[in-house]
Amino acid sequence: MKWRGRTIICVVFVALGVLTPVFAFAYEAAPRAQTIQPTFVTEKSIQVNGLVNPNEMPDTYQWFEWGIVGQSATYETRRERLWGGNWQMSTNAAITGLAPGMQYFFRQVAENGRGRDVGQTGYVTTKPLPLATTPVALATTNEAVFVGEDSAMLRGYVSPHGNTETQVWFEWGVTTKLENDTSHRGFGGNSGSVEVRLDRLMPGTLYYFRVAAENSAGRTYGTMRVLLTRGTQVVAAPVVFEQPKDQYVPDPTPSSYEATSRTTTTSGEVGAPAALGAQANGLPVIRGPGDFFSYLFGGKKRDDTSTSADTDENTTDEEVQLASAAASDSTGDFWGMLSGKKLVEVVVEKIGEKNAVAHTPVEYRIAYAYRKDAPATDGRLKIVLPPEVVYIGDNTNNELLIENGSGQSRTYVLPLGKLEKGETRSLSILGMVTAGASELPNARVRLEYTDGNGTHVVPADDGVLSSAEENVASTGGTAGKLLPSSLLGWIIYICSVIVAILGIRKLKEYYARKKELLAMADDENEQLRSSEFFPESHEVTPVVSA
**Model pLDDT for residues 476-488, shown as the tens digit of each residue:** 444 555 666 567 7
Burial 399-419 (b: 16+ CB within 10 A, else e): ebbbbbbeebbbbbbbebeeb
pLDDT of residue 94: 95
In 3-state terms, what secondary structure has residue 156?
strand
Give the structural domain span for 499. 486-516
pLDDT of residue 288: 43
Asked if residue 428 and residue 286 are part of one domain, the reply reads yes
Asked if residue 157 and residue 104 are part of one domain, the reply reads no
Domain count along the chain: 4
Distance CA 36, CA 41 (A): 14
Q: How far apart are the first and last CA of the chain?
A: 230
Which DSSP string corresponds to 331-379? -S-HHHHHH---SEEEEEEEES-SS--TTEEEEEEEEEEE--SS-EEEE
Asked if residue 386 and residue 283 are part of one domain, the reply reads yes
Q: Rounded to the nearest 5 degrees, what angle is found at the Cα of 428, between the Cα atoms of 423 and 433? A: 150
Mean pLDDT of the chain, nearest integer: 75
Contact 427, 305 (CB under 8 A): no
pLDDT of residue 295: 45
Give CA torsion, residues 321, 322, 327, 332, to 10 deg.
140
Read off the amino acid at residue 375. P
Asked which of 430, 457, 479 is the last residue of a domain, the reply is 479
Asked if residue 473 and residue 344 are part of one domain, the reply reads yes
pLDDT of residue 387: 80
H helices present in 177-237, as ranges: none
Asked if residue 475 and residue 491 are part of one domain, the reply reads no
With respect to residue 250, please indicate whether it lies within any of the assigned structural domains: no
With respect to residue 25, please indicate whether it lies within any of the assigned structural domains: no
With respect to residue 452, please indicate whether it lies within any of the assigned structural domains: yes
Distance CA 317, CA 279 (A): 13
Asked which of 479, 502, 536 is the last residue of a domain, the reply is 479
pLDDT of residue 430: 84
Distance CA 283, CA 249 (A): 16
The 8-class DSSP code of residue 204 comes to T
Contact 262, 318 (CB under 8 A): no
pLDDT of residue 438: 66
The domain that holds 48 is classified in CATH as: 2.60.40.10
The closest alpha carbon to 165, from 184, 181, 189, belongs to 189
pLDDT of residue 216: 85
Distance CA 253, CA 259 (A): 10
Contact 170, 193 (CB under 8 A): no
With respect to residue 132, please indicate whether it lies within any of the assigned structural domains: no
The closest alpha carbon to 444, from 251, 288, 283, belongs to 283
- Count Cβ atoms below 10 Å from residue 393 Cβ, excluding itself: 20
Asked if residue 438 and residue 493 are part of one domain, the reply reads no
Give the max Cα distance, the chain: 230
Distance of CA 490 to the CA centre of its chain: 38
pLDDT of residue 434: 74
Which residues have C-beta within 8 Å of that of residue 157, sequence separation ≥ 6?
139, 140, 142, 191, 192, 193, 194, 211
Which DSSP string corresponds to 233-260? -SSPPP-----PPB-----SS-TT--GG
pLDDT of residue 285: 42
| Sites in the chain below the pLDDT cut of 50 | 26, 235-243, 245-332, 469-470, 472-478, 546
With respect to residue 528, please indicate whether it lies within any of the assigned structural domains: no
pLDDT of residue 16: 65
With respect to residue 393, please indicate whether it lies within any of the assigned structural domains: yes
Distance CA 144, CA 209 (A): 9
Distance CA 335, CA 332 (A): 9
pLDDT of residue 431: 84
Asked if residue 279 and residue 298 are part of one domain, the reply reads yes
Strand order in the sheet with 360-370: 389-394, 423-433, 360-370, 344-351, 461-462
Burial of 293 (0-12, 13-18, 19+ CB in 10 A): buried
Asked if residue 105 and residue 157 are part of one domain, the reply reads no
pTM comes to 0.34
Burial of 239 (0-12, 13-18, 19+ CB in 10 A): middle
With respect to residue 347, please indicate whether it lies within any of the assigned structural domains: yes
pLDDT of residue 311: 40
Asked if residue 307 and residue 277 are part of one domain, the reply reads yes
What does R_g of the chain's alpha carbons equal in angstroms?
Answer: 46
The domain that holds 388 is classified in CATH as: 2.60.40.1170
Asked if residue 434 and residue 298 are part of one domain, the reply reads yes
Asked if residue 408 and residue 306 are part of one domain, the reply reads yes
pLDDT of residue 96: 93
Asked if residue 183 and residue 149 are part of one domain, the reply reads yes
With respect to residue 527, please indicate whether it lies within any of the assigned structural domains: no
Asked which of 80, 103, 125 is the last residue of a domain, the reply is 125
